[in-house]
Chain A
Amino acid sequence: MPPAEAPLLEARGVSKRFGGLAALADVSLAIGRGEIYGLIGPNGAGKTTFFNCLTGLYQATEGAFLLGGARLAGLKPHAIVARGIARTFQNIRLFANMTALENVMVGRHARTRSGVLGAILGTAATRAEERDTVERARALLAYVGIEPRAHDLAKHLPYGDQRRLEIARALATEPQLLALDEPAAGMNATETAALKALLERIRHDGVTLLLIEHDVALVMGLCDRVAVLDYGRRIAEGTPAQVRTDPQVITAYLGGALP
C-alpha cells in the first residue's frame, strides 16, 4: 500500500551513466516512514549503483534524492550520514583491524563533537561524551547479539557476526533510513531467520529499511513493498505478491515468458 503521508525517501528520476553505459535510467520511487522496502533485480540491474548514488559515493547524472523533502544532491557521504541515511555493504567492509566495539564507535562520529583540544585537556564534556559513546556502542552490540565479541578484532569475528556488526555500526549513526545491501548473502536458513527477526525489530524501533536482497523467501516475508530493477530501469513496483506475478518481472528473471 502506498504511503499516505509524505515519503521519508524519494528518488526523482535518478539516472547514472558511466560513459555510454546507463547503470540507472530514470528511476523514481518513494519510501514511507516505517516501511520495509525491497529493491530486487537480476545481477547488474543497478541496485548497488542506486545505493552508491543514494549515499553520495557517486553523483547521480540526473535526478535527485530527497530525504524528508530535503534534496541530498551534492552532499558528501559524511553529510548524508548526518542527515540520517546509513548503509551496509554487499561484500562486508568493516574496519578489520579495529575491535567490534571500536567499529561501532566510529559510527558515532557524526553524532559526537569532541575535538583534539578537549581530548588533550581531558575536559569533563569530552570524557562524558566518550563514556556515552562506549555505552551506546555496547548497547548496539547487545542489540544485534554480539556483545560478548566487543573486544575481538572485526576480522576475527565469524561471518554472520561480521554482518551483524555492520548493522550495529550503521545503527550507531542514528539513521532514519537504513540501507542494507544483501544482508542475508551467505547465510544459512537459521541465520536468515534470525536476521529477519532483527530487521523487524529495527523497523519496530522506528527505522525505515531499504534492502537489496536475492533471497526471495526473505523478501516475500519481510518487505511491505518491492521495486524491481532491470538494466537500470524500474520495471515494476508493488507488494511482493503483486510483483512476483508481474509478466515483465518474470521475463527479466527468466529471459522470456513461459508458454
Chain B
Amino acid sequence: MTALLDVTGLTAQYGDSQALFGIDFSLDQGETVSIIGSNGAGKSTFLKSLCGLLPRPVEAIRFKGAPIGGLAAHQVAKAGIALVPEGRRLFPSLSVEDNLRIGATTGRPGPWSLPRVYDLFPALHARRKQPGTALSGGQQQMVAIGRALMANPEVLLCDEISLGLAPTVIKDIYRGLETVIGEGTSVIVVEQDIAQALKVSSRFYCFQEGRVSLKGRPGAVPMADISAAYFGV
C-alpha cells in the first residue's frame, strides 16, 4: 500500500541559502506524525513546501500517488491539504465567523461545518461576530484550526499550535485535535514542545539543520537519543 503523502528527497531554499537538504517523509491514511526540532531546523519550511508556498521539485511530493510539487498553494488546498500556519495569520478584516467561512472556499465535502467547529471549540460561538484579531491568543488559535478544518482536509498540517499559549489552553487545543484525529483525518504536528508532540503522535521525525536526524515511534526510542538528535550533540 502506498502512503497518503510521500516525500522523497525534498529540497527547499530561500534565495541563496538552502533550508532543506533532501527530506524523506511519509504519512499514512489516518496517521498522526509529529515533527520536532529546534528553531531553524526546517520544520516550517517543510510544511510550507508541502502546501505550495515555496517552489519545490515537482516529483518530490506525492499525494495519493500523484505528484503535487507543481501545484500552486490554492490548488494544493483544493486537493485536500490544509495548513494551520505558524502565528495563526487570521484575516484582520474578517469576523471570527467569516474567518471560518473562508476556510470552506475549497468547497470540499466532509464532516466539518460551522456548527461542528463551534461544537469543537464552544468558546468561539459567543464571539463569532467579533473581529478574529480581537480574541485571546488561545481563541485565535482555535479559529485558525477551525478555519483549516472548514476545508475538510484529508491532511491537516499544524505549525506550532501551542506556541506562546498557557498550559490549560494548550490542553483544550490538543483535546480538540484529538477529536479531529478521531474523524480519520491524517495530521502532521510540528512542535518545539517534544513531550506534547510525542504524546499525540504514533511516529515522529526529528529535524536538524534541514535534514532528518532521527525518526521512530515514541516510546521505542530512548529519550537520550531524541535529545541528541534534537540538539545535535
Partners in one complex: no
